[in-house]
Structure 1
Amino acid sequence: MMNNQSKKKYVLVCFLLATMAMFSQTKTKKVNSKIEKVIVFSQGAQVSRTANATFDSGKTELVFQGISPKIDKQSLQVKGKGRFTILSVIHQNNFLNTQQHRAEISKLESEKREWELKKTTETNILSILKNEEGILSKNQVVGGTNSGLKTTDLREAVEFHRQRLIDLVKQKTEIEQKIMGIDTTLVKLDKQLKALNQSDENATSDIVVTVSATNAVANASFDIDYYVLDAGWYSNYDLRVEDVNSPINLLLKANIFQSSGEDWKDVNMSISSGNPTESGVAPTITPWYLGLNQRRIQSTVQTFGQLVGNTISGTVSDYIGPLAGANVVVRGTSIGTTTDFNGNYTLKVPSVNSELVFTYVGMEEKIVPANSNVVNVVLEQSKVALEEVVVMGYSSRKSRKKYKEEEDYSIPMETTVAYQPTTISYEIKDPYTVLSDGKVYTAEIKTFNLPAKYQYLSIPKLDASAYLTAKITDWQDLNLFDGELNLFFEGAYLGKSLLDLQNASDTLEVSLGKDKGISIARKQLKEFKAKQFLSSYKTESRAFEISIKNNKPYPIEIVVMDQLPISNTKEITVQEEEYKEGTLAEETKIITWKVAIPSKNEKKLTIKYKVKSPKNASLILD
């Protein structure tokens, strides 16, 4: 038996063990967080969340739910502020807490169910009518002297039978037409639901932060930052010109899209030209070995013809059918577009050396050289599986005095425009919303009024049209991006052009399209066309007249270009060249006229030359 002293020691040890067990027991608590800021890159986005929590002393697992399941695990950062220590940060899937459906999707799904019920009702009615028709067909009225029916009764019975069958046929036709209409509506609803609810991934994820505190904490705050996939943006512009005496009005628009699995509602949003997914490491080349029986993987890209001009079009699909809302971006630029309802796209590219990046939620990204006018792509299902990962966390353990001093700290934010050596950022001034539906949300970022020097350009030998060009100086300070231009001149839509900053010089030159108010013609002067033979040589003469008529209500300046032939052999010589008022580039033999033409006036230019060549030589001189 234990004495009193031993009993006291035993009780004390038990108390200490119980206290330690209680202290060491890890508790779990769910914490709500809110998205405060999103920086959208050309690929992906940086999401910043904030949260406040209270918890008791000891170890506590704080579970932040409703997080995007598409986090780049290496990018997750958790910063805490308070008298506690962050022990670990875990990112894990949550298949029980699924993503919320948008009201629009729920409405369409409800509408689809109603149409399916209508189809069921009409199908049942049609079945009843067919059954009645079958009964009438099997029970024909049999007439004759032995039928027991009078002739008049027989005639009435036959007439009733025929009329009822006619009515049944009419009713069946009406029902079948209704069912066809319902089927058409159901197909449209299915396509719209597919476009709105593109992702097969409905799970969310949790960020589990394990903290330890000596005392209860009532005012802990957390900053959570991570990079998400399946997001991005591209730019385009509305360019308006009232007349050649007015400045250019240029509206920059950002087309933002995301299917990250979390909605960005009323958040501070910035767009950045940066792309964190790009590697800064130069490539290396390895030996290329050939082997027998090597096979090529079946191509999921179809191209047709070489790239002529700078416009590429095509279709993006999966193995089931076209993909609406797929993103097509010129790699390394902010030039891009999305596919329409039928999966079709059209895009202007800077050069044949460009590459197109095709992305769609739930599909593998595909990069294709932009070397053809038609590029059709089939995307494949993504094989990426989200795994539970353990990520480093930032711990914070401060004295109460230091905590109060740092309580109001803030992370530096981009201003309205931020320019770094490699990126440009714009912050949208008002809170902005982009839902996780893959749709493109267009934000008007900034309007520029740019003084420009307008000049017309024409090369009548190739195209008898006058192209209006605008030259903009000091454009480097405007913080612009590459992108397509929607052109408006004198209130009329002229089509599309391209703002290609990669190949621009100190003066940015933008082509604004054809101006129908200027008439241009190039014709050969027959009276100067002649051929003379001298011994074993011949001399051929050519002359062309270029007429430019200014039908506009104001004077214009136009640059007109033509050329003289160049001989690459001593047996052929070009003689007696004439190009009044023009300037000749000796190396290329290109002639340039700079002409000012008053309103409602016409200007004529001439070019003449003779070519001496061997008698039997066949030359193209026109």
Structure 2
Amino acid sequence: MKLQMTVICLLFSFFCIGQEKERTVQSSIESVTVFVRKAQINRTANVTLNPGNNLIKFEGLAQNLDGSSIQLGGNKEFTIVAVNHSRNYMKNAAVSPRIKSIKDSLNDVGFKLEMRNRFISVYEEEKSLLLSNKSVGGSQSGVDVEDLIEVADLYRSRLKEVEMKIMDITEERNKLKKITERLKRQLNQLNSRANKNTTDIVVRISADVKMNAKLFLSYVVSDAGWTPIYDVRSKGSPNPVNIAYKGNVWQLTGNDWNNVMLTLSTGNPSLNNTAPSVTPWTLRFKSYRTDQRYMSNRSYEIEEAENDAMPMSGFADNDDISARLDVRVSQGTVNTEFKIETPYTIASDGQYNAVEIQTHALPAEYEYYTAPKFEKAAFLLGKVTNWNELNLLSGKANIYYDGTFIGSSNIDADITKDTMELSLGRDPSVAVERKKIKDFCKNSVIGGSKKTTLGLEVTVRNGKSVPISIVVQDQIPISNTKEIEVTTLETSGAKHNTETGLLEWVLELGPGESKSLIFKYQVKYPKSKTISNL
């Protein structure tokens, strides 16, 4: 009897465990760490745990959730028995406010369009009524002239009003149709990006006593990231270069990040983090085999792979910052994190959201540069030192000079030089001219050879009220064949690289000062041939 009661109790216990009821908790996103590619979402939820096993369900999470990255913790003592995640195809992701706004606009425009269609129908009916009742007087009696004129005026006036109304409403309707098409295109684009379903996470928690606990859930999603962008501002010498470091944050996780704390990390979890190993590289001769199918002497070459060893995985192009008081910088061994103390809202629409990170005022040396053979303009360069201490990533830079936007450039954070050159655009107050010296340029034939002699003059004028330093570069052609001989005749003291043909001058120009540089050369080659690029 006792044995039977024990078996019944065990069966009842297993039945109760099998029938454990899931409890769905409401969680909210508190903070997000955004990597260059991917992001770590940190959620919190308040829950009451009963003694024994508790099945807690987090639903409506991002579709592209990395299950291996799920972490769960809490502020009380309990045991996490199991964590499972699954795709929920029955529940769609929440509609973003942007999509909802476009749908509301479509409904509003659709209502206005329908009203215009009905107005046109009414006026078309009135027009038909007027045209079908044109007879004046009876068939047996004549028509008084004054009555005819009065009726004609009435028809003309009313028909004119009706036609004008139809034209005005048709124009309004066409405008509304164009607005509808634009809204539909925008909605289709957003819907194509939006996630169509969600992920659920079910956690089994064992508690010894009943307690109110706060759960901390974190996981990594793939549809998010950030790219660096810079605003570079300068007023020229002797002012510093101001670099504003921003992050363009985007996400398409299906959940809006409302008023969350952001941390931007220079890490990239998408890269292979396994260190490569170098294995022996064995060289082999190319071998041949005869195609026996045709019994001919035709041979087919077998090309061996250049390196038989396994590929060196792990080497990849990395898509790969005065600090702000509301940004804390954490420098790790391999990554840098910027914790933004001001909360941000990032909608799940794939749009860029500029997040300010840091601003630096960096001392710089200014120098002008020109290569008038290719561009008769002087470009201002800002040379910044110790830039590699700023934790920069490569990215696009918007250049502002003296308060005016002058264009875009790029910051290359992968260079190994101690000095970074920033192109601050053209300066029209520094004039550059390059022209041939007509009296010196000539062609002559001596025996079987032809000689071409060229002389060029480069003039640089400083139209500014302050002295400037400018680097001028030009070139003398070089030859890679004995048939073409190049002789340098004059360089005006330029630094001449005979291997590349580069000529370089460094000029110091006072306010309003001009300097001219003259260089000459001669090219000798067979008269029976023509040089295409001389």
Q: TM-score range by the shorter chain?
A: 0.7 to 0.9
Tell me the TM-score normalised to structure 2 length: 0.82
- Corresponding position: 1:176 with 2:164: no
Matched residues in 2 for 1:576 and 1:79: separation?
77
Q: Does the residue aligned with 2:68 lie in a helix, a strand or coil?
A: helix
CA 621–111 in structure 1, closer or farther in 2 if over 3 Å, else same: closer
Checking the alignment, whether the CA contact within 8 Å between 1:25 and 1:59 is kept in structure 2 is no
1:549 Cα shift? 0.3
Q: Which is further off, 253-262 or 573-582?
A: 573-582
Q: What is the CA–CA distance in structure 2 between the aligned matches of 1:619 and 1:196, rounded to whole Å?
A: 57
2:44 corresponds, among 34, 43, 50, to 50
2:404 corresponds to 1:492: yes
Q: CA deviation at 1:441?
A: 0.9
**Aligned counterpart for 1:236 among listed residues 229, 232, 240:** 229
Letter in 2 for 1:442: A
Which residue pairs with 2:521 in the alignment? Answer: 609
Q: Is the 8 A contact 2:194 2:252 kept in 1?
A: no
Residues 1:457 and 1:10: Cα distance change in structure 2 (over 3 Å): closer
Q: Name the aligned partner's letter for residue 507 of structure 2.
A: V
Q: In the alignment, does 2:249 pair up with 1:256?
A: yes
Distance in structure 2 (CA, Å) of the matches to 1:584 and 1:17: 95
* Aligned-pair CA distance for 1:143: 6.1
Identify the match of residue 351 of structure 2 among 439, 462, 474. Answer: 439
Task: Please name the residue that 1:226 is paired with.
Answer: 219
Contact 1:82/1:217 (<8 A) preserved: no
- Alignment partner, residue 336 of structure 2: 424
Are 1:333 and 2:333 an aligned pair? no
Measured at CA, do residues 146 and 481 of structure 1 come closer, stay the same or move farther in structure 2, by a change above 3 Å? same
Structure 2 Cα separation of the partners of residues 503 and 9 of structure 1: 79
1:545-565 CA distance string (max 9 Å, x none)? 111101111111111112222
Superposed CA deviations along residues 528-580 of structure 1, whole A, max 9, x for unmatched, are: 22444444334443211111101111111111112222233334433352112
Distance 1:19 1:465 in 2: 87
Q: Does the aligned pair in 2 maintain the 1:580–1:605 contact within 8 Å?
A: yes
Q: CA separation in 2, counterparts of 1:513 and 1:556? A: 15
Residues 475 and 508, structure 1, Cα contact 8 Å, conserved in 2: yes
Work out whether residues 96 and 348 of structure 2, in 8 Å CA contact, stay in contact via their aligned partners in 1.
no
- In structure 2, what residue type is equivalent to 1:508? M
Match of 2:199 among 193, 199, 205: 205
2:199 partner letter = S
Residues 247-283 of structure 1 deviation map (CA, whole Å, 9 limit, x = unaligned): 1111111000111011222322111222222335779
One of 414, 417, 421 as aligned partner of 1:505: 417
**In 2, Cα distance between equivalents of 1:147 and 1:158:** 18
Are residues 535 and 83 of structure 1, via their aligned partners in 2, closer, same or farther at CA, if it must alter by over 3 Å? closer
- 1:456 — aligned with what? 368
Question: Given residue 49 of structure 1, which amino acid in structure 2 is its aligned partner?
Answer: R
2 CA distance for matches of 1:61 and 1:455?
A: 68
Q: 1:464 to 1:141 in 2, by over 3 A?
A: same
2:507 to 588, 591, 595: 595
The offset of 1:497, in angstroms, is: 0.8
- Alignment match, 1:325: none
Query: Conserved in 1, the CA contact under 8 Å of 2:39 and 2:224?
Result: yes
1:123 match: secondary structure:
helix
AA paired with 2:110?
Answer: E
* Equivalence for 1:618: 530
Aligned-partner Cα distance in 2 for 1:102–1:539: 74
The 2-side partners of 1:429 and 1:65 are apart by 28
Moved more, 161-170 or 270-279: 161-170
Kindly provide the amino acid, as one letter, of the partner of residue 268 in structure 1: M
Q: Secondary structure, in 3 states, of the residue corresponding to 2:123?
A: helix
User: Are the aligned partners of 1:549 and 1:601 in contact in 2 as well (CA < 8 Å)?
Assistant: yes
Please state if 1:67 is matched with 2:53: no
* 261 and 578 in structure 1: CA distance in 2 versus 1, 3 angstrom threshold: same
How many residues are treated as equivalent by the alignment? 490
Q: Residue 162 and residue 465 in structure 1: after superposition, are their counterparts in 2 closer, same or farther (change >3 A)?
A: closer
Is 1:551 paired with 2:453?
no
Q: Which residue of 2 aligns with 1:575?
A: 487
Letter in 1 for 2:108: E
Give the CA deviation at 1:233: 1.0
CA distance in 1, matches of 2:39, 2:28: 16
TM-score by length of 1: 0.71
Aligned CA distance change for structure 1 residues 559 and 154 (closer, same or farther; 3 Å): closer
Question: 1:562 and 2:474 equivalent?
Answer: yes
User: What is aligned with 2:324?
Assistant: none
**1:528 paired residue number:** 440
* 1:149-191 superposed Cα distances (whole Å, 9 cap, x missing partner): 5554455444434443333222222222232233233334434
Q: Confirm or deny: 8 A CA contact 1:49 1:223 kept in the other structure.
A: yes
Identity of aligned residues (%): 33
Match of 2:259 in 1: 266
Secondary structure class of the residue paired with 1:465: strand
Counterparts of residues 308-457 of structure 1 (less than 5 Å) = 332-334=318-320, 416-420=328-332, 422-457=334-369
Q: State the partner residue of 1:29.
A: 23
Q: For the residues of structure 2 that align with 1:15 and 1:588, how far apart are their CA atoms?
A: 93
Instruction: Verify the 8 A CA contact 2:29 2:43 in the aligned structure 1.
Output: yes
